[in-house]
Structure 1
Amino acid sequence: MRARSLTVRVLLLATAWSAVALVTMAVVISALYRQGTERGFNNLLRAQLYNVINSVSIGDGDSLAGSPELGDLRFSQPKTGWYWLVEPLGNFSTAPLASTSLGLTDLPVPDINTVPFDDHYERFYPMTDPYGNHLRVAETEVVLDANGRAARFRVSGNLDVVEEDVRFFTTRLYTGLALIGLGGLIVNGLAILYGLKPLERARRALERIRAGEAERIEGVFPREIQPLANEINALIDSNRRIVERARMQVGNLAHSLKTPIAVLLNEARALPKSQASVVTAQAEAMQSQVSTYLNRARIAAQRESVLARTEFEPTLERLIRVMRRLNPDTRFELKLAPGLVLAMEQQDVEETVGNLLENAARFAAATVVVTAGPAEGHEPGEGVTRRNWIEVTVEDDGPGLEPGEIVEALKRGRRLDESKPGTGLGLSIVNEIASEYQGAFGLSRGARGGLRARLVLPAVTRDIA
């Protein structure tokens, strides 16, 4: 999956949302559980405080008396942080009562302005005892008799209990949510992959069309994708009809003009020589222009067609067989990359490469070398979507051309060597067809000393993902 993949986008978005949602849930639930645990801890301290209040009174000798039984051994064990303490207030002067766990240690009393009493005349506040225990203290003041003698009652509990409880819960909570998140991620991934599977099938169907293995998108797709497949099929059908109509019109035009031009050329032979040369030259020029523009119209009609494709190797081998029969003394060497497929009509491939082979065989001393493979660094121009290009080079060991002669050779109808047969149109036709396909054509001196023709042509784009 690529960075710009729709599957990756949806999966990342779902994962990010799930992560944010689960983390938020974990924080909120943990905070709520802590609040509930602290509230329950305060209620426990309040219940124990009331138990102490109910167990203490003024005994004989006007002293505090009572033995609270809180049902928790931690109030009997020293340094636990679980203490209870009853201290006389005001003019009531007597010894305080304290739990065994407190011993001779005293607990400081915070200022009433710092920690005020609530509506029930109770207050809760944190404290650290001399042993380093973090405590929460529940406190109230109670009048013990009709004479107004009162005492301060305090019960403390160790907050480690709360922290351990919260820590245990949050550990289980985070583990559970992590497992839920992982399971959700897997389920989301499978659901997304399954949901987007029709898009992958549509992509493969398009790839088969691009490779020439099919002419339409076949298969049944979900209702969200089926209209797109139908529109693409309609576009392909329309494209095919345009190509066929253009071919038919090209053929009709060629047929309708061929006879009048042939008549002009015939009649020119009966004219005096001075007049015949002018008429013949103009008729041949008309014939050349008609051929050129008809080819351009045909190429333009099917240039962007996804159905235009030609297997390069068998086409080249057919051309080479013809060249070998016509030039038995010339050796033809082929160096081809495997699996080359051109996004061109076979007729155009044969015309371009055939003209180059014919020209090379005409001037070669002994050898013609044909090389073909992927082209590197070709920029076809704005608006062209093809990404793959094939470079074809045809090189001979003949006399070659100088830079100035190369410019002249590319002009329509120019022949640098009148001793060789030909019309001087071959290289210009190659250049025009290459230009119509947004390719490139150039001539240079080759490594063997002869002429090197380089042709860049569009290839079938197989990678459309």
Structure 2
Amino acid sequence: MSGRNSLRARLLAGSLVWILGTLTVTGCVLGDLFRRHVEERFEAELRIHLDQLTASIELTPDAGLALRTDLSDPRLRRPLSGLYWQVDREGGDAARGVLRSRSLWDVTLAVPADGPRDGEVHVHRIDGPDRERLVMMERIVQPEEVVAQPLRLIVAADERGMTSPVREFVGLLVIALGVLAAGVIAAVLLQVSVGLAPLKRLREQLAEVRDGRSRRLEGAFPNEVRPLVDELNAVLQHDAEVVERARTQAGNLAHAIKTPLAVLGNAALREEGPLARLVAEQVATAQRQVDYHLARARAAAATQVPGLRSALRPAVEGLVRVMRRVHAERNLHFAIEAIPDDAAFRGEEQDLQEMLGNLIDNACKWARREVGVSVAVREGEVAIVIDDDGPGLPADAREAMFARGARADEEMPGSGLGLGIVRDLAQLYGGRIELGQAPAGGLRAALFLPAA
């Protein structure tokens, strides 16, 4: 079944697209919000350091620069710690790195040419002492004592202090969202399986109806599926009624025809001469045709009815008892192998008896001492094998025995419809019959029918 026509695949595909899309957007939004939060805190810390530097810087009596107090963060006193400050002179005799933190050691930060106005704060990305990327924050201050030489105060920190937490958070977020996605997908799979379970049960019930184990759909179904079940049961009931009416009408028609035929036949038997013999022969032919077509009509109708199931064991045993009485003078031995209790034919019991009755009766007519019957179930069909120890049939003459009216011996009693009607009935049900040689040398008739 292709995914395009699968309800399960459609539900899963729609749910997966929605879940993965939602979690992806959620992950991107959360990651961006956390990144902004970290950047804001990072820049806020730099601003605090810059404010501390601004408040601590002072001019010495010899026009130099010094700090009144050290800045609070100990990283500023540890060489190459990743947190730095630097003071540059601006103006005519500009000088870079006039004063800098111990953490810079003997390195001077190369800052870009920029001209923020007094009090403004600018942020840049520059290279650090170890060629790492730094986030730099600067401001220009104008000391009151030295009007002509403004000071450029710079604070910088390793960018990894901002990007590393974001990277770690994104990694944990991906894992968390992945676990969440797996859990939600598992829940969706379970939900879809539970939601479609009534359809699976409906399919199983239909299979039981088809195989003859049930006549209608039974059991509790959800409200959404119940109308479908009711409609299917109504269709099954309607089909059964239509078929039953058709079979009844066919039987009535056959009875209506056979009654005047019987009257004609009886009248012909009371007379003598060529005309009487001709009438008797034609009446017998007409009766055979009526029996043949009635059996076909009954079987054709039965094949359209689901839920038919005919057990083989009682059918075979019942027919063997009848044949023992019919052929009592022959004193035949019936060898019946053990028939499985679950062996059943998916069709009308009357048609099963029609087919088996013809085959067993035919074997009894030709058998010398023994008739064998065996039943096996395999690959969705039942195989019924009937052997006799009679003279058998040559291979080139077996197919001709299926023709209507064909008889191996004209002196044998019978209508000549046996094998022909058996094959027609079997084919109507999707089965077949094969003729071969029995182990005792007689004829073997193997009948294959759909199993129920």
Q: TM-score with structure 2 length normalisation?
A: 0.86
Indicate if the aligned counterparts of 2:208 and 2:307 stay in contact, CA closer than 8 A. Answer: no
Structure 2: runs of 5+ lacking an equivalent = none
The 2-side partners of 1:137 and 1:183 are apart by: 44
Indicate if the aligned counterparts of 1:348 and 1:433 stay in contact, CA closer than 8 A. Answer: yes
Q: Which amino acid aligns with 2:227?
A: P
1:385 matched residue in structure 2: none
Indicate if the aligned counterparts of 2:211 and 2:451 stay in contact, CA closer than 8 A. Answer: no
1:107 matched residue in structure 2: 109
Q: Which amino acid aligns with 2:373?
A: V
Indicate if the aligned counterparts of 1:127 and 1:137 stay in contact, CA closer than 8 A. Answer: no
Indicate if the aligned counterparts of 2:120 and 2:140 stay in contact, CA closer than 8 A. Answer: no
Q: Does 1:136 align with 2:139?
A: no
Q: Tell me: CA distance 1:117–1:374, structure 2 relative to 1, closer, same or farther (3 Å).
A: farther
How far off is 1:89 after superposition?
A: 2.9
Indicate if the aligned counterparts of 1:397 and 1:451 stay in contact, CA closer than 8 A. Answer: yes
Superposed, which structure 2 residues align to 1:41-440 within 5 Å? 41-67=42-68, 69-92=70-93, 96-110=98-112, 120=120, 122-130=122-130, 133-145=132-144, 147-210=147-210, 212=212, 214-325=214-325, 326=327, 328-334=331-337, 336-374=339-377, 388-440=380-432
Indicate if the aligned counterparts of 1:374 and 1:391 stay in contact, CA closer than 8 A. Answer: yes
Q: Tell me: CA distance 1:212–1:407, structure 2 relative to 1, closer, same or farther (3 Å).
A: closer
Q: Tell me: CA distance 1:72–1:375, structure 2 relative to 1, closer, same or farther (3 Å).
A: same
Deviations 1:54-78 (A, max 9, x none): 3324432222232464422111222
Deviations 1:38-95 (A, max 9, x none): 2332232233223323332443222223246442211122221111111223423566
The 1-side partners of 2:140 and 2:434 are apart by: 106
SS of the equivalent of 1:457 reads strand
Q: Tell me: CA distance 1:104–1:40, structure 2 relative to 1, closer, same or farther (3 Å).
A: same
SS of the equivalent of 1:61 reads coil
Indicate if the aligned counterparts of 2:81 and 2:103 stay in contact, CA closer than 8 A. Answer: yes
Structure 1: runs of 5+ lacking an equivalent = 377-387, 461-465
How far off is 1:28 after superposition?
A: 3.4
Deviations 1:203-259 (A, max 9, x none): 454455445554333455433212111111211220121122123212211221121
Higher mean C-alpha displacement, 276-285 vs 359-368: 359-368
Q: Does 1:36 align with 2:28?
A: no
The 2-side partners of 1:203 and 1:320 are apart by: 38
Indicate if the aligned counterparts of 1:375 and 1:456 stay in contact, CA closer than 8 A. Answer: no
Percent of aligned pairs with the same amino acid: 34
Q: TM-score with structure 1 length normalisation?
A: 0.83
Q: Tell me: CA distance 1:241–1:26, structure 2 relative to 1, closer, same or farther (3 Å).
A: same
Q: Tell me: CA distance 1:400–1:70, structure 2 relative to 1, closer, same or farther (3 Å).
A: farther
SS of the equivalent of 1:30 reads helix
The 1-side partners of 2:434 and 2:209 are apart by: 32
Q: Which amino acid aligns with 2:247?
A: R
Deviations 1:439-465 (A, max 9, x none): 2223233455432323222223xxxxx
Indicate if the aligned counterparts of 1:92 and 1:150 stay in contact, CA closer than 8 A. Answer: no
Q: Which amino acid aligns with 1:135?
A: L
Q: Tell me: CA distance 1:10–1:374, structure 2 relative to 1, closer, same or farther (3 Å).
A: farther
Q: Tell me: CA distance 1:396–1:6, structure 2 relative to 1, closer, same or farther (3 Å).
A: farther
Number of residues of Structure 1 aligned to a counterpart in Structure 2: 444
How far off is 1:152 after superposition?
A: 3.0
Indicate if the aligned counterparts of 2:436 and 2:444 stay in contact, CA closer than 8 A. Answer: yes
